[in-house]
Each structure stands twice: as structure tokens, then as C-alpha cells.
């Protein structure tokens, strides 16, 4: 019997996308990167670590050693939880920083971004409230949004979210979790001081709440004292998920992150990860463990932070001339970003095409808000270019914004 395909005119339409897929848009940062791909553009929009500072030689040697000495293991499937040598090495790094951690407390993830998706799968039912910072890391809004979360912003200031406002919102919305980047936040660069961390831990303990503490930037400190993780404050120990990543201290292309979580939640995330990708690439995990064994990562990070500090200083030096009078910005003590607020009446998204015509780019602040956006804001990454390029980029920005 021959079966003939129906004529196109009679073909029925395919079923629609899931509501969650239709409700969450793509990342405006990635869209801007596409428009500004011309090499002459000085692009402050991305969040790209400086490629010239990658330890390509050290990483190549680690891959070479692993592939020569244990190819059968490195190229094979592995456990979902992650390679024991890497989990042990990361646990040891936590312990040195005062947070007692066992290798079994950790799940290796494909970048810390995956941890956000796994947590959304494990914790969030459609309609559940998730509290986020205002403004918030964009791809966290996407991850929780795709799970159908009702995103509620917690107001704050230059020192991060306001614990009193948090307490009130938790009482009102009964959220599943709070998502925060307490140190050198993306997008604002701000860092939450110890007293607020303690207060937030107290709210979580008193009201019953998971805290997701995302810390990809904490190691990149240029000045000031390290502030302990929220996970280490009384009340937060058994309800905080701490996320980390090698993206900003080793290389983002490795796609290696980790989650430190209480056993019940870790187990649920392991199952979610089995469904997502079985496990994070074995060869990358073993090579990172080998890199940690053969090299002093802290010394490498100190070199990177030294260079980033000069770049931050170049940006802070040029900003007063580059931005219109009456603008304000946060001085970050580390990390990768400066967040600025232009005077009332400016709309940084509307201005961007004119800015890009001057061969320079930033990210408008609006997409980082779960609630009502402040359209006068923008984010600039100061680590990708050299101090000279930063100076030139800011001169172009001045020309573009001059009215």
C-alpha cells in the first residue's frame, strides 16, 4: 500500500509551544552581542572574562595529562553527582574558607546556570512565588520564569536587598525561595554587608524559606574584607543552596559549576540533572581537578583580580566625563560590573542604537527588573577590554550621550 502525504493546503498546524516557552523571551544581552559583533565596537555589554588572562597553557597541560593517563575514564560516561576528585577539591576550597563541606554535599553542574534550572525543576510549581533582587541576574529570571514562577522583586539599595522588606514580602507571598547574588552582584556590582546577611538568614529561618545564594564572582575581590557566605550564618545552614563556578576564575568554556545543598534538595537536583544531561562532561571535570592539583588557582585568581582592578579603575576614572551630569554609579569592590543611573528622563534602551552608531555598547538596565523597570539604568562590564580601550570606549560614549 502506498501512503501519500496530504497536500500542504490541507495540512493541519502543529500544536502550540508550551505556555512557559512562549512566556519567557530571549536574553537581550545576547541580542545586543549579536548587533555589536563588529570588531570596531568597544563592547561593555557582555559579561565576558578577559580571554587574554585565561591560563590556556595550564588548562591544556591538564587536559593533555588526563587524556594521556586515563583516557578510558576521561572519555567515558560518569556519575551524575560528579567526579569524586573534583568534588573533593571543591569541598577542600570551601573548608579553607571556613565553610565545612563534604564532597557528598556537592553536585557538579554544567555551569552554575544549570544549577538554577535544576533548582527551578526541583522546587518550583507553576504559580509559586520566587523572590528576586531588584534588579536581578537576567538568566535567573529566565530559569525561574520558565518553571512558571511568579517573580516578586525585593527592594533594596546600594547594600543589597532590604531585610525588613524581605520579611514583609515573605509573610505576604509565602514564597518557595529567595534568589540572591550577595557579592559583586550581576548587574549592580554591589555587595551585601554582614549584618544584612545575618538578618536574611534570620528571616529564612523564622519564616521557612529556601535561600539560593549564587556566588560566581566572590573570588574576584580587589579591595575590602571578604564577607562570609549567607550559608554560614545561624539559621541559614540547613536551608541555603550555595552555587559556585569556575567560569570567572578559570574559564567559562569549561562549563563547570557546583551546588552545595542540604541532602534532600541535592538528591532532587541529581534526579533533575539525570533528565537534563546525565552528567557534566567527564574530561572537563577530571582536567579541572588535575589543574587544581598541579597549579595554584588562588595565585592565578590574584593575577586576574589585579588586572581587573586596573580595568575597574579605568572605568571609574572615565565615567564622570562619559555620563551626563547628574548620573550616579556604584563603586564595586570586585567582580565585573559597574551599574549606572542616568538623570531622570533618559531611557538607556531608546538611546542604545545611537550609542552603537558611535561604536560602543552597554546593556540597558530595564530587562534586569522582575517588576517595574528603572529605564535610566545601564550595566557596563569593565573586565573584557584593556584600560586604554576602556578609556576610548568611554570617550565614544560621551560623544554618543552628548545632547
Nearest CA to 379 among 185, 244, 143, 160? 185
Query: How far apart (Å, rounded) are the C-alpha atoms in residues 94 and 90?
Result: 6
Q: Helices 297-322 and 387-401, interaxial angle, to 10°?
A: 30
Q: How far is the CB of 176 from ligand PMP (least distance, A)?
A: 19
Alpha-carbon Rg for the chain, nearest whole angstrom, is 22
The smaller minimum CB distance to ligand PMP, of residues 253 and 399, is found at 253
Are 188 and 208 spatial neighbours (Cβ–Cβ below 8 Å)? no
Strands 177-180 and 210-214, how do they pair? parallel
Count of beta carbons in the 10 Å neighbourhood of residue 196: 20
Minimum gap (Å) between residue 139 Cβ and ligand PMP: 6
261: left (phi over 0), alpha (psi -120 to 50) or beta: beta
* Nearby residues of 222 by Cβ (< 8 Å), 6 or more positions away: 305, 308, 309, 312, 333, 334
Q: Least distance to ligand PMP from the beta carbon of 187, Å? A: 8
Residue among 129 and 245 whose Cβ is closer to ligand PMP: 245
E-assigned strand segments in 229-376 = 240-245, 256-260, 328-329, 337-341, 360-361, 363-364
Q: Closer to ligand PMP by CB, 29 or 236: give it.
A: 29
Q: What are phi and psi of 382, to 5 degrees?
A: -105, 5
| Closer of 247 and 282 to ligand PMP (Cβ) | 247
The residue among 132 and 322 lying less far from ligand PMP, judged by its C-beta, is 132
Closest CB to ligand PMP among residues 189, 252: 252
DSSP 102: -
What is the C-alpha end-to-end distance of the chain, expressed in Å?
A: 74
CA distance 137 to 158: 16
Rounded to the nearest whole angstrom, what is the least distance from the CB of residue 46 to ligand PMP in the complex? Answer: 9
Residue 21 Cβ vs ligand PMP, minimum distance, rounded to whole Å:
21
- E-strand stretches of 202-287: 210-214, 240-245, 256-260
Q: Applying CB under 6 A, which residues contact ligand PMP? A: 47, 111-113, 137, 181, 186, 214, 216, 245, 247, 252, 257
Our CB check for ligand PMP shows the closer of 322 and 383 to be: 383
CB of residue 114 to ligand PMP, shortest distance in Å: 7
Return the residue nearest ligand PMP (CB atom).
Answer: 111
Question: Which is closer to ligand PMP, CB of 285 or CB of 401?
Answer: 285
Amino acid at each position: 500500500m502506498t501512503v501519500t502525504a496530504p497536500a500542504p493546503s490541507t495540512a493541519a498546524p502543529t500544536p502550540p509551544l508550551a505556555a512557559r516557552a512562549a512566556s519567557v523571551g530571549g536574553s537581550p544581552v545576547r541580542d545586543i552581542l549579536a548587533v555589536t559583533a563588529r570588531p570596531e565596537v568597544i563592547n561593555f555589554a557582555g559579561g565576558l572574562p578577559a580571554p587574554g588572562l585565561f591560563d590556556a597553557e595550564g588548562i591544556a597541560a591538564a587536559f593533555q595529562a588526563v587524556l594521556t593517563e586515563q583516557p578510558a575514564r576521561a572519555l567515558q560516561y560518569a556519575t551524575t553527582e560528579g567526579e569524586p576528585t573534583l568534588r573533593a577539591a571543591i569541598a577542600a576550597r570551601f573548608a579553607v574558607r571556613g565553610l565545612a563541606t563534604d564532597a557528598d554535599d556537592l553536585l557538579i553542574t554544567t555551569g552554575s546556570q544549570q544549577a538554577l534550572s535544576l533548582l527551578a525543576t526541583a522546587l518550583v510549581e507553576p504559580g509559586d512565588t520566587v523572590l528576586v533582587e531588584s534588579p536581578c541576574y537576567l538568566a535567573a529570571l529566565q530559569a525561574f520564569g520558565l518553571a512558571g514562577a511568579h517573580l516578586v522583586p525585593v527592594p533594596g539599595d546600594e547594600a543589597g536587598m532590604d531585610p525588613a522588606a524581605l520579611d514583609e514580602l515573605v509573610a505576604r507571598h509565602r514564597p518557595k525561595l529567595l534568589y540572591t547574588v550577595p557579592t559583586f552582584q550581576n548587574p549592580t556590582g554591589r555587595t551585601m554587608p554582614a549584618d544584612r546577611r545575618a538578618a536574611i538568614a534570620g528571616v529564612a529561618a523564622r519564616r521557612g524559606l529556601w535561600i539560593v545564594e549564587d556566588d560566581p564572582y566572590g573570588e574576584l575581590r580587589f579591595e575590602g574584607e571578604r564577607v562570609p557566605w549567607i550559608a554560614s550564618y545561624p539559621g541559614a545552614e540547613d536551608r541555603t543552596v550555595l552555587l559556585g563556578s569556575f567560569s570567572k576564575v578559570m574559564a567559562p568554556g569549561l562549563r563547570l559549576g557546583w551546588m552545595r545543598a542540604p541532602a534532600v534538595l541535592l538528591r532532587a537536583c541529581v534526579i533533575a540533572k539525570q533528565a537534563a544531561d546525565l552528567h557534566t562532561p567527564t574530561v572537563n571535570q577530571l582536567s579541572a581537578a588535575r589543574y587544581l592539583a598541579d597549579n595554584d588557582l588562588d595565585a592565578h585568581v590574584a593575577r586576574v583580580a589585579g588586572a581587573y582592578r586596573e580595568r575597574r579603575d579605568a572605568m571609574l576614572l572615565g565615567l564622570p566625563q562619559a555620563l551626563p551630569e547628574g548620573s550616579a554609579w556604584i563603586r564595586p569592590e570586585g567582580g565585573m560590573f559597574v551599574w549606572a543611573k542616568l538623570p531622570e528622563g533618559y531611557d538607556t534602551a531608546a538611546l542604545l542604537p545611537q550609542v552603537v552608531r558611535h561604536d560602543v555598547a552597554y546593556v540597558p538596565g530595564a530587562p534586569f527588573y522582575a517588576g517595574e523597570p528603572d529605564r535610566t539604568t545601564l550595566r557596563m562590564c569593565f573586565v573584557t577590554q584593556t584600560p586604554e580601550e576602556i578609556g576610548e570606549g568611554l570617550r565614544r560614549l560621551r560623544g554618543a550621550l552628548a545632547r
